[in-house]
Amino acid sequence: MDITGKVAVVTGAGQGLGRAYATALADAGAAVVVNDMNDETAAAVVDAITAAGGRAVAEVVPVGTTESAQRLVDRAVNTFGRLDVMVTNAGVLRDRVLWNMSDDDFDTVIQVHLRGTFTCVREAARHFRAQGEGGRVILAGSPAGQRGNFGQTNYAAAKAGIVAMARTWAMELGRAGVTVNAVIPNAATAMTETIPFLAPYVERMEQGLPVPSVVRRAASFGTAEDVAGLIVYLASDASAGVTGQAIGIGGDRLSLWSHPTEIRSAFRDGGWSADVIAEAFESTVAEVPETFGIPAPKLPELQPQEA
């Protein structure tokens, strides 16, 4: 897919998924602003892109504030003349169970993920509207935000909020020709190596060994590069009719997540008292309760020679 002429900002692009996104966008012809907090990792990504014949510059700044978002948009416009794609990928983890989570643990994750997404997209939206040629906004969700995950109050809340913002912004920016979608990735990164049932496969990949096909399908789990094709597609003109969606990808699986919706309802003349709800709840709306948490797929055990 050719997206030559487009200019993209990718936050958190120094490693993992962000690096894969920036590299894939550049390989497809886009000029890329590589954002990261670490100047060495950002420079390494820029060097790799330019060595391959692509165009990229680094902007080293932590996301979250309005000032940092303005710097990213300004860097794209001042260096490459325009901005077409904003990919908000930057993230951190501060995993703790609820009763052990500090204010700082919560606030740090919300600042980077949720506020960082808000400020970057707000600045990009202002530029897209002034530029008058549409645009692409690609947000980073997570299975934890879709289903909840033990020890991740802060992260799950931020990621759920990001997908909610994608739906809202798809409505608000539609008339300007700007699409907004959330990607729900599943890949071997620092964000997934703490998940117990995936840890052996992350270690395997770090050793340069392939992920078994059954894991790529059953767990939707693979490399960061497996996810990057979706980013390029959503950045392209081919995705002009796709907006307001939460799209899952990982390993060999591509999926579409549903939006929260009422799945069953009951009616009673005169309304519902607490006693009536207690009597009727399990036999009406909650006859089959919803599950929660990220389900662990049935995966083959790695043999000693495979581990």
Please tell me which residue in 6, 159, 201, 233 is annotated as part of the active site.
159
Look up 21 and say whether it is catalytic: no
Please tell me which residue in 6, 21, 155, 236 is annotated as part of the active site.
155
Look up 155 and say whether it is catalytic: yes
Report whether 22 contacts 34 (CB < 8 A): yes
- 116 CB neighbour count, 10 Å cutoff: 26
Distance CA 17, CA 46 (A): 15
CB burial readout 7-45, b (16+ within 10 A) else e: bbbbbbbbbbbbbbbbbbbbbbbbbbbbbbbeeebbbbb
Instruction: Let me know how many helices (H) and strands (E) the chain has, helices first.
Output: 11, 8
The closest of 83, 75, 190 to 129, measured between CA atoms, is: 83
Please tell me which residue in 142, 220, 236, 239 is annotated as part of the active site.
142
Report whether 106 contacts 90 (CB < 8 A): no
Look up 142 and say whether it is catalytic: yes
Catalytic residues: 142, 155, 159
